[in-house]
Amino acid sequence: MEQETKCVQSGYTPGNGEPRVLPISMSTTFKYDSTEDVGDLFDLKKEGFFYTRLSNPTVAAVEAKINDLEGGVGAMMTSSGQAATLIAITNLAQAGDHIISASEVYGGTVNLLAVTLKKFGIETTFADINNERELSAAIKDNTKLIFAETIANPAVTVTDIEKAARVAHEHKIPLLIDNTFATPVICRPFDFGADIVVYSTSKYLDGHAVALGGMIVDGGRFNYAASGKFPGLTEPDESYHGISYTQTFGSAAFITKARVQLMRDLGSAPSPMNAFLLNLGLETLHLRMPAHSENALEVARLLKSSKAVKSVRYPALYGDKSYDLCRKYCKGIGSGVISFELESREKAVKFMDGLRLAAVVVHVADARTCVLHPASSTHRQLTNEQLAAAGITEGTIRLSVGIESKVDIMKDIERGLSNL
Ligand SMILES: *Cc1c(COP(=O)(O)O)cnc(C)c1O
């Protein structure tokens, strides 16, 4: 099936007389006739639902849909994007290990890596992801993965996924990609060599800013056994009757371990209600992404033509430093997010105060146009150095262009600019 059809139909196929629309299985547990049945489920001998922390029919349907859209071997939904990143990384790295992250990533991810994972004993080096030499030089013997965002939040730089995958694979480690801004409608990172994809589904996949969620998708092609660097996946798991995930689950080793070990122990499970809402959002993803992008391109052009604007970053805008990468990896579609710079923090505030349609909210990537000043919100906890590395200045504004009428959005941006 084509991506458009998968957005609408994948993941749930009702049987005769069953609900046409995905039902919400609001139940923590599931009934079985015998203790033997339950035992087999616990031993992973049989597939089925027994406790919603591990899996649930509504959640499983949306996992299957996103897995299908992405072309993976399995997916797991989490309670938030942060939980997806945390579980994906700790499924590969533990205390004493090292990872590499693109320096231009979401502020919450910078905090997770630089502060919290450091306390867990996992060290992160932040590197310029598209600089092959810098990336290679950052790799150490204990490096377990390379992490980057397809379209970085908020710098909107596009990652050269093939190059990053090549560096990772030369060193026998996987490439983990956060595809939140691109979505599978714009880019499928597995097609370019990425090994694992994570999402904050709270953004475009949901699309209406109603339900927090995350997703981990396993591409299934990385050979952990041949790498020899991942005992957690290849050696017996004491907490699971001594099974080896690679031996028992083959290409689905990564995603199985993420669920049966880390979701079991960390418990950041999504609500079935949120899975239902996410599925509803996904049904229009293929219509929304081109609409966001079309509006955003017009706005980016307008901003570029204004003397009050120091610089504009939008990957689908001709002349942008990521323009070629956007064509290669994102079909020339840029999503709704634009990053631009005014001369000062004061100017940024003035511009934002002039807007009436675009609301100032701590969110991006939903149907409504919204605007944010990263230096005083999402990236507030970052030092000036970290801000600079993330491509943010005091005058940077992140604009998330919605799917309202282009005419009204353009009028609003003009109002903001005339306030300067
Ligand atoms: C928002 C976001 C996250 C975090 O997701 P939550 O659902 O808010 O926990 C991670 N990565 C990117 C790129 C994001 O935009």
Q: How many angstroms is it from 69 CA to the middle of ligand 1?
A: 19
Residue whose Cα lies nearest atom 5 of ligand 1: it is 81
- Which pLDDT value is given to residue 41? 84
Distances in Å between the Cα of 85 and the Cα atoms of 143, 259, 381, 398 are 17, 14, 19, 22
| Residue 68 Cβ < 6 Å to ligand 1 | no
Name the percent of the chain lying above pLDDT 90.
88
The mean per-residue pLDDT over the stretch 236-253 comes to: 95
* pTM across the whole model: 0.96
Whether 135 is in the pocket of ligand 1, judged by its Cβ within 6 Å, is: no
Q: Is residue 203 in contact with ligand 1, taking CB distance under 6 Å?
A: yes
Listed residue (170, 177, 96) closest to 133, CA to CA:
170
In this structure, the residue with its CA closest to atom 1 of ligand 1 is: 200
If one counts every other C-beta atom within 10 angstroms of the C-beta of residue 418, the result is 11
Give every CB contact of residue 286 below 8 A, 6+ residues apart in sequence.
3, 4, 7, 185
State in Å: Cα 367 to ligand 1 middle: 17
* pLDDT tens digits for range 254-313: 999 999 999 999 999 999 999 999 999 999 999 999 999 999 999 999 999 999 999 999
Decide whether any atom of ligand 1 lies within 6 Å of the 109 Cβ. Answer: yes
Instruction: Pick the atom of ligand 1 nearest to 202's CA.
Output: 7
Mutating to test ligand 1, I would choose from 89, 158, 203 the residue with most ligand atoms within 8 A of its C-beta, which is 203
Establish whether residue 214 lines the binding site of ligand 1, counting it when its CB lies within 6 angstroms of any ligand atom: yes
What's the average model confidence in pLDDT over 342-365? Answer: 92
Residue nearest to atom 7 of ligand 1 (CA): 81
Q: Which of 77, 80, 106, 183 to mutate to test ligand 1, by most ligand atoms within 8 A of the CB atom?
A: 106
Could you identify the atom of ligand 1 that is nearest to the CA of residue 214?
Answer: 7
**Smallest Cα–Cα separation from 340: which of 182, 155, 157?**
155
Q: How confident is the prediction for the chain on average, in pLDDT? A: 96
Whole-number pLDDT of residue 385: 85
- What per-residue confidence (pLDDT) applies to 134? 97
pLDDT at 390: 76
pLDDT at position 148: 98
